[in-house]
């Protein structure tokens, strides 16, 4: 036990107890219990409650490829197999809700444009029923002047609904 003596003005010298072994032991025990109680919670916060499987990641990539296959052939029914009811997209500086993006592609096809899109270098993150994907789309646009190669940086957010990954949001930015 360590004691400190001090004289305060004209008052008699008093003894102050700085360390009491019982009190110190109780504080150490409480601190240890707190660390043991909090540590599993903070570690669990870094671990997804329900991490996606490799099959989920493959299905997310395939959902994007299905979207492009549907757009290539103007197949709205096929698009609806992978698009969520509240689907929207940002593409070419515009917002497209629902079927508007597919209708814009269909109009471009009507003028003679031919599009080729590919999902390359996909990176998928997913937890529980929500996934996001980023990838590079390397493709081309053929019009009356010829075929031009293009690259787009794209991303999407998907939600698993009744066991199927559906695209809720899609974003595309053309690389200059």
Q: What is the pLDDT of residues 29-72, one digit of tens each?
A: 555 555 545 444 444 445 455 777 889 999 999 999 999 999 99
34 or 7, which is more confident? 34
Residue 109 has pLDDT above 50, yes or no: yes
Written as six digits, the tokens of 153 are 């940086």
Q: Report the relative pairing of strands 14-19 and 83-91 from DSSP bridges.
A: unpaired
**CA pair distance 158, 171, nearest whole angstrom:** 12
Residue 131 has pLDDT above 50, yes or no: yes
Residue 41 pLDDT:
45
How confident is the prediction for the chain on average, in pLDDT? 83
Least confident span in 40-49, 50-59, 136-145, 154-163: 40-49
CB 156 within 8 A of CB 167: yes
Residue whose C-alpha is closest to residue 82's, from 131, 20, 146, 33? 131
Mean per-residue pLDDT, 151-167: 96
Indicate the class that CATH gives domain 54-174: alpha beta
The pTM of this model reads: 0.72
Residue 13 has pLDDT above 90, yes or no: no
Residue 128 pLDDT:
86
């Amino acid at each position: 036990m360590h004691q400190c003596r001090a004289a305060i003005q004209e008052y008699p010298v008093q003894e102050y107890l700085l360390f009491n072994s019982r009190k110190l032991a109780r504080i150490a025990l409480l601190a240890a219990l707190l660390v043991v109680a909090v540590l599993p919670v903070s570690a669990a916060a870094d671990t997804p409650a329900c991490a996606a499987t490799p099959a989920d990641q493959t299905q997310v990539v395939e959902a994007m490829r299905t979207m492009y296959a549907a757009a290539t052939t103007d197949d709205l029914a096929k698009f609806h197999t992978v698009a969520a009811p509240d689907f929207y997209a940002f593409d070419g500086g515009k917002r497209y809700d629902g079927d508007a993006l597919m209708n814009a592609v269909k109009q471009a096809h009507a003028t003679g444009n031919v599009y080729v899109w590919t999902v390359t270098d996909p990176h998928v993150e997913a937890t529980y029923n929500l996934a996001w994907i980023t990838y590079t789309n390397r493709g081309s646009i053929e019009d009356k002047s010829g075929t031009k190669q293009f690259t787009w940086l794209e991303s999407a957010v998907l939600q698993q609904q009744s066991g199927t990954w559906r695209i809720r949001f899609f974003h595309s930015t053309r690389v200059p």
